[in-house]
Structure 1
Amino acid sequence: MCEIYASTPPQDYEQVNRSIRINGAVTSIRIERRFWHILDELAAEENVSTGKFISALHAEAYSMNGEISNFASLLRVVCTTYLANKHY
């Protein structure tokens, strides 16, 4: 039943740190490699670097919702939202 999920290569769910500049400040974001690949794809579709995409996303989310308590979680949800909408 879960073989398709259980057979996920371990490197896909390995957490990876990347340094990103957000609002002029360098910060480190740690999320799973698979999510970084999706964010890279999203950025490419927008014709910007992943860093610029993430910085713009942060600015827009902050503008709409105020303080972001867990930005890494927001990035994961953005990725799943992107994948869910990609099928339509």
Structure 2
Amino acid sequence: MCQLFIDADSELWSSKTRSLRIDGMATSIRLEQFFWDLLEEIALRDDLSVGQLITRLYLESLDADHDVGNFTSFLRVCCSRYLSLAADGALNRNDSQPLNQLDAPPLLAGENQRTQQRRSSHSLPRNKLQ
């Protein structure tokens, strides 16, 4: 099992820092190359640059009253959720349909349902987790 992960291209987990402006403020974000690649894929679907995507995510998070204190973690989770939705068949990574045109409420409801099902089917007694 571990070979699947250990023998992956080590470039994927190398950290890269990119500088950008969010709402007029200069900042930098440090993420692993794997996540930069995914952000590029996501941004291309909506005809955005990675900087534009990150700015949009940041500003919409603020509008939704989310705590963006650990924004890089938020970006990693966004990428992971994108892959999870694709793995579950809720969206197609090869599709060119912009993500902003997808009907989010049913996608989110399905994601929540699958998450609950996974949690209940993977629950182990506490002593098995240690």
Could you state the TM-score of these two structures normalised by the residue count of structure 1? Answer: 0.94
RMSD value, Cα? 1.0
Runs of 4+ in 1 over 4 A off after TM superposition: none
AA aligned to 1:24 is G
**Alignment of 1:72 onto 2:75:** no
Give aligned-pair identity as a percent.
Answer: 35
C-alpha separation in 2, matches of 1:31 and 1:66: 20
Q: Which stretches in structure 2 are left out of the alignment for 5+ residues?
A: 90-130
- Name the SS for the 1:37 alignment partner: helix
Task: Look up the match of 1:42.
Answer: 42
Highest RCO, 1 vs 2 (Cα 8 Å, sep ≥ 6): 1
Unpaired segments of 5 or more residues in structure 1?
none
SS in 1 for 2:47: coil
Distance in 2 between the 1:65 and 1:76 partners?
Answer: 19
The answer to which structure has the higher strand fraction is 1
State the aligned residue count: 88
Scaled by the length of structure 2, the TM-score of the pair is 0.65
Larger radius of gyration: 2
- 1:18, 1:29 → 2: CA distance? 5
